[in-house]
A and B are shown apart, each in its own frame.
Chain A
Amino acid sequence: MKQLSPKSYETPSQRLLDSAPLLGCRDVVKIFKSYLKGGFTALAGASISIRRGELLALIGESGSGKTTLAKILAGLIQPTSGEVFFGDKPLAKMGSKDLLHFRRKVQFVPQYPDLALDPTWYIYDSIAEPLRIHKEARTREEELEKVRSVSSRVGLGLDQLRRKPRDLSGGELQRAVLAKAMVLSPDVVIADEPTSMLDPSTQAKIVHQLLEAKKENGFAVLFVTHDLSLAEAISNRVCVMLGGSIVESGAASDVFSSPLHPYTLSLLSGSASGLEMNRGTGCPFYSQCDARMGACSKSSPPEFMTGKARSVRCWLFGQDY
């Protein structure tokens, strides 16, 4: 099996960084209503963009808002404010035809493979279902051909297709979920920690198959993970999340070799603790930051561009400081 090591896959090309965003969001805020606490802010003005054909890793600790952002981008939950766009069209203003096109072109791979498929349906039917919903296969034979092709690409045999989810292992289920996401030939696959529930050897196989399929079909991947070494190994670009906003983004090689934000630095060194972050005004990392200044506690820093496709939300990089 091919071992995953840093830089074993693509690095971002200039063409990739120059291309127009395919899917993204601007200043997205998501507040979950809670009768006891009066509301929980999961996203506090997050902006992200995914370009055609790239692999963007979204990293951060548990509770940083990665899954919420991924679900908002996939159109599964509505943001409280802010805008999600696909191509040049905002999702909120899309008609039913455009929305259906978006549903076909943006696919979501959830975190728990054992709960991602209907337990009463056969794996074959679950994989074929998106084709049936979008009427993508005119005949049964065409459907069978498409399902077979996508299943063999992720390493699923006919034997597994004839079974129900309870009869498959975690790795096989995750392959089935990937096959279901890829059967409509999407432009973007949003994978929310797709390997977190699997053992290390299965993890590597699944990631390898996802990357091979990506190379073959050219779709973009938003890979949500808290596995930093995996993110470094596979991604073109990286976005670092903290307290519901993206604090740093840039080419994977740049972010991992020379992190700018103090939080990224502590995350990479393994000393970060998201539980102690500041949830009031100012920078969410203010209380733990060694380089904090007066401005850090007063207002949340805006996005400062420090290079081509490199940005950081830290007052240290502001023009006035």
Chain B
Amino acid sequence: MKRFGYSPTGVEWAGIALILAVFAMTLMSFLPGGCFGMPSSIPYLPPSSSNFLGTNDIGDDVLAILLQGSRVSLSIGLLGATVSTLFGTVIGVFAGFMGGTVDEALGSITDFFLVVPALPLMILLAAYLGPSFMNVVMVIGLLWWPTTARMVRARARQIRGSPFIEGLMGVGARKPYIMFRHVLPNVWGIVLARFVLAVSSSILLEAGLSFIGLGDPQNPSWGMMLHFAMTRGALLHGAWWTFVPPGICISFSSLGFILIGMGMESRYRSSTKSIGDVS
């Protein structure tokens, strides 16, 4: 992985989180009590051989919920990142390549979303739309695109000014063709890096929204585990096993994606140093 300039630590951490999410059901079947962990009527049972991470306030196995939560957290992370990256890329490429009035109009919209305080607006939207899996994805996706759009726009503008695009226009290529066949492949590196960074941001945002109670209670995520720990007295009982494991999972998985994204961005910057405006 070092050869590609990505962070090996980041790949390991994010990889572990992804493996947990993908194989959650298989891993859960290996738990002492079967698929849903060892059922217990005793709340806040500390970690033991029958419940590796203890039980929560209603006596459910924390490890089983943690494994289930990994699927929710990472699904929201990946879907939120997909929506925001897709939106940001389309707007960025279009604004950067077309220039002029189109660029100014899209730039103003991007600037508006950049200066609007994202977190309060997200809370407002999440509360208004109601707690559901897809609503959380849409809220994250629709409010996290401006940074991607800005970076993609800057790169698309740089590419638009390069002689090979001028040459293509001279040979009679149409603008949509140039955008899809030439501009998009050349911004692909930055899009991929932004996507990985957006996964990390989405995981954190989802955790934040769920923690304040705006997540989907029917699909408990790591953030929702923290919410339940806080609202149902786990802190008072000193039941650290209900909030430390999801906290660690959120921190390490998002940090893993951040490290990969930063590695990709620095690699991308060094590989595109030679391409610039020449006039």
Interface, chain A (partner B; CB < 8 A):
71, 74-76, 99-100, 103-104, 106-108, 110-112, 114-121, 129-130, 133-134, 180, 184
Residue of B nearest to A67 (CB): B279
Contact in complex: A108, B172 (CB < 8 Å): no
Residue of B nearest to A165 (CB): B164
Q: Which residues of A contact B164 (CB under 8 A)?
A: 115-118
Contact in complex: A120, B185 (CB < 8 Å): yes
Shortest distance in angstroms between A138's beta carbon and chain B's nearest beta carbon?
A: 18
**B219 CB-CB contact with A under 8 Å:** no
How many A-B residue contacts, CB cutoff 8 Å? 60
Contact in complex: A107, B170 (CB < 8 Å): yes
Residue of B nearest to A130 (CB): B171
Contact in complex: B177, A115 (CB < 8 Å): no
Number of interface residues of B (CB under 8 A): 19
What does DSSP make chain B's interface, helix, strand, loop or mixed? helix
Q: Which residues of A contact B278 (CB under 8 A)?
A: 111-112, 115
Our pick among A76, A115, A119, A134 for the contact of B170 (Cβ within 8 Å) is A76
Contact in complex: B170, A103 (CB < 8 Å): yes
Separation of A118 and B168 alpha carbons in the complex (Å): 10
Our pick among B162, B169, B188 for the contact of A115 (Cβ within 8 Å) is B162
Contact in complex: B182, A118 (CB < 8 Å): yes
**B275 CB-CB contact with A under 8 Å:** yes
**B235 CB-CB contact with A under 8 Å:** no
Residue of B nearest to A74 (CB): B170
Separation of A133 and B182 alpha carbons in the complex (Å): 13
Separation of A75 and B172 alpha carbons in the complex (Å): 10
Residue of B nearest to A71 (CB): B166
* CB-CB under 8 A for A129 and B171, given A118-B186, A119-B186, A120-B186: yes
Shortest distance in angstroms between A32's beta carbon and chain B's nearest beta carbon?
A: 10
Interface, chain B (partner A; CB < 8 A):
162-164, 166-173, 177, 182, 185-186, 188, 274-275, 278
Residue of A nearest to B166 (CB): A76
Q: Which residues of B contact A116 (CB under 8 A)?
A: 163-164, 167
What 12 new A-B contacts, CB under 8 Å, besides A108-B167, A130-B171?
A74-B170, A75-B170, A76-B170, A103-B172, A106-B170, A107-B170, A112-B163, A116-B167, A120-B182, A120-B186, A129-B168, A134-B172
Our pick among B166, B172, B185, B186 for the contact of A110 (Cβ within 8 Å) is B166
Residue of B nearest to A192 (CB): B163
Separation of A75 and B163 alpha carbons in the complex (Å): 14
Separation of A110 and B169 alpha carbons in the complex (Å): 13
Report which residue of B167, B182, B275 has the largest number of chain A beta carbons within 10 angstroms of its beta carbon. Answer: B167
14 contacts between A and B (CB under 8 A): A74-B170, A100-B172, A104-B171, A106-B170, A110-B163, A110-B166, A112-B163, A114-B274, A115-B164, A120-B182, A121-B182, A129-B168, A129-B171, A180-B167
Q: Which residues of B contact A134 (CB under 8 A)?
A: 172
Our pick among B162, B170, B188, B274 for the contact of A108 (Cβ within 8 Å) is B170
- Please provide the 8 A-B residue pairs with the shortest distance between their CB atoms, ordered closest to farther: A103-B172, A110-B163, A120-B185, A115-B163, A108-B170, A130-B171, A116-B163, A76-B170
Separation of A130 and B167 alpha carbons in the complex (Å): 10
Q: Which residues of A contact B274 (CB under 8 A)?
A: 114
Shortest distance in angstroms between A88's beta carbon and chain B's nearest beta carbon?
A: 21
Q: Which residues of A contact B172 (CB under 8 A)?
A: 99-100, 103-104, 130, 133-134
Q: Which residues of A contact B169 (CB under 8 A)?
A: 76
Report which residue of B164, B173, B186, B275 has the largest number of chain A beta carbons within 10 angstroms of its beta carbon. Answer: B164
Separation of A100 and B174 alpha carbons in the complex (Å): 11
Contact in complex: A115, B275 (CB < 8 Å): yes
Shortest distance in angstroms between A128's beta carbon and chain B's nearest beta carbon?
A: 12
Residue of A nearest to B183 (CB): A118
Shortest distance in angstroms between B169's beta carbon and chain A's nearest beta carbon?
A: 7
Residue of A nearest to B169 (CB): A76
Shortest distance in angstroms between B276's beta carbon and chain A's nearest beta carbon?
A: 8
Separation of A72 and B177 alpha carbons in the complex (Å): 23
Separation of A114 and B274 alpha carbons in the complex (Å): 9
Shortest distance in angstroms between A205's beta carbon and chain B's nearest beta carbon?
A: 22
